[in-house]
Amino acid sequence: MPIQKDLKKLVRARMQKTGEAYTAARLQLLNKQQPPQPDYASLAGMSDATISKRTGRTWAEWVRVLDARKASQQPHRAIAEYVSSLGTPDWWSQTVTVGYERIRGLRDRGQRRGGSYEASKSRTFAVPVETLFNAMHNARIRKRWLPVKVEVRSATAPKRMRLTWDDATQVQVGFYAKGAAKSSMAIQHEKLPDRASVDVIKMKWTEYFDRLEKMLS
């Protein structure tokens, strides 16, 4: 009751100041008292239109669903498995999980839950996917465009590769066919120490891709 009395006093004061009717003045005051909706899309790093199209839910809807599950208190894998169980495709389950963790302050942009950072980069090249895979897998060819000593930890031709960098960071590489004579390479450079390292390694990968593109052409 005291809250309602205070509100009525504020409404009457606004009516005297603005000349508004009681209902209009009350509505304006209530709107001012409501906190603004957080910009979930900016925090997550992906638009509402895209996430809704791919998963059937906007970010606000995902936040409600996952908050009800107390997901912010759960590890990454458990959240991703729950999102997947709701019928979300595997890749988009990870996207929703990472976006939710960013929204709830569990990780920064480019940061993993464990505290380390990662950088992603991709580019499409005018060559078959087998040629692109070989440009990374073949050590002699790789040295022509990638001036870094790396160890190939695992490889599945012509789909994926796992590398260890000369500074002990790790790189996941995916290769994707986009027709008979076009393909893309997507890298995820992991275990970076800080946000500044993310910006640096992204610039380096831009240079590496430029060298690779020139070599392949």
Q: What is the dihedral of CA 66, 61, 55, 75, to 10 degrees?
A: -20
* pTM for this predicted structure: 0.58
| Position 6 confidence tier, pLDDT thresholds 50, 70, 90 | low
* CA of residue 64 relative to chain centroid, distance: 19
Task: Give the chain's mean pLDDT.
Answer: 88
Q: What is the pLDDT of residue 3?
A: 47
User: In terms of CATH architecture, what is 117-216?
Assistant: 2-Layer Sandwich (3.30)
Extents of the domains making up the chain? 2-33, 40-103, 117-216
Q: How far is CA 65 from CA 43, 61, 72, 79, 160, in A?
A: 17, 6, 11, 11, 33
Contact in structure between 51 and 59 (CB atoms under 8 Å): yes
Beta strand 183-192 pairing with 170-177: antiparallel
pLDDT of residue 73: 92
Question: For residues 43 and 30, is the Cβ–Cβ distance under 8 A?
Answer: no
Pairing assessment for the beta strands 117-125 and 183-192 based on DSSP bridges: antiparallel
Nearest Cα to Cα of residue 59 among 101, 22, 26: 101
pLDDT at 1: 39
Q: What is the pLDDT of residue 2?
A: 45
Question: Position of tokens 């090249």?
Answer: 125
pLDDT confidence of residue 122: 92
Kindly report, residue by residue over 63-108, the tens digit of the pLDDT: 999 999 999 999 888 999 999 999 998 779 988 998 998 899 887 7
Residues constituting the chain: 217
Beta strands in the chain (DSSP E): 117-125, 151-156, 160-164, 170-177, 183-192
Mean pLDDT on 2-7 = 56
Q: Reply yes or no on whether the pLDDT at 204 is more than 90.
A: yes
Residue pair 92/72 in contact by the 8 Å Cβ criterion: no
For residue range 47-65, list pLDDT tens digits in order: 999 999 999 999 999 999 9
